[in-house]
């Protein structure tokens, strides 16, 4: 049976930051979690700790790498559409992950989800030692080249309870993706109660 240890979000952010600060040059970190887990909030907290430790840190939201609505909604709101047609993971790798590692540059946003148009963002240069956090759902299990991964895991009941009614159709897709995922994160958190999560420390 997996073993879990209580931890606070602040201590978790410190632990994640220390791991990244002890690593090499530019680093890529994923905070994987359903929107209901608010992964971007934790990514911001961890990024602040990295900056306090003396290295630059940047954030990318997966929701800034969605496909246009005409493609997202082509097959309606079903499990397959959300898992494979909503987010442009290929663009995330092409515009953010590979360029940051290979050329020291990255694109902060590709598509404005609310306005459904190009984000018109410009490519940025990454300072030496930059840690870039990508936050959003279903990042794990895509073969993306992250140096460190954090999983904020919600039980099925917590996911259903905390997901807005308008987005309830995404819940089966999120649960199915998690069942099919074989990639294990560096940090796995039980996140049903974000103010008092539990860190998996053993199997």
Q: Which domain holds residue 48?
A: 3-202
Percent of all residues in the chain with a pLDDT value above 90, rounded to a whole number: 89
Report the alpha-carbon distance of residue 158 to residue 162 in Å, rounded.
6
Q: What is the CATH number of the domain that holds 186?
A: 3.40.50.300
> For residue 131, what pLDDT band results from cuts at 50, 70 and 90?
very high
- Cβ–Cβ under 8 Å, residues 132 and 28: yes
What is the pTM for the complete model shown? 0.95
Number of helical (H) and strand (E) elements in the chain, helices listed first: 8, 11
HSE-up (13 A, CA, CB side) for residue 202: 3
- Give me the number of domains the chain comprises: 1
> For residue 203, what pLDDT band results from cuts at 50, 70 and 90?
low
- Mean pLDDT score, 99-126: 96
């Amino acid at each position: 049976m997996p073993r879990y240890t209580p931890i606070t979000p602040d201590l978790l952010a410190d632990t994640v930051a220390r791991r990244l600060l002890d690593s090499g040059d530019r680093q890529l970190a994923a905070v994987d979690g359903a929107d209901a887990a608010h992964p971007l909030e934790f990514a911001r907290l961890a990024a602040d700790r990295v900056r306090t430790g003396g290295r630059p840190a940047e954030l990318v939201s997966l929701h800034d790498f969605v496909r246009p609505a005409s493609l997202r909604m082509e097959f309606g709101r079903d499990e397959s559409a959300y898992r494979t047609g909503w987010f442009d993971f290929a663009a995330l790798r092409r515009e953010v992950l590979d360029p940051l590692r290979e050329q020291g540059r990255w694109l902060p946003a590709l598509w404005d989800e609310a306005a459904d148009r190009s984000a018109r963002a410009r490519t940025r240069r990454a300072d030496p030692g930059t840690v870039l956090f990508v936050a959003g759902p279903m990042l794990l299990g895509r073969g993306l080249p992250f140096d460190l991964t954090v999983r904020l895991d919600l039980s099925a009941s917590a996911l259903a309870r905390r997901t807005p009614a308008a987005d309830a159709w995404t819940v089966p897709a999120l649960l199915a993706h998690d069942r099919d995922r074989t990639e294990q994160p560096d940090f796995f958190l039980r996140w049903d109660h974000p103010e008092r999560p539990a860190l998996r420390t053993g199997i």
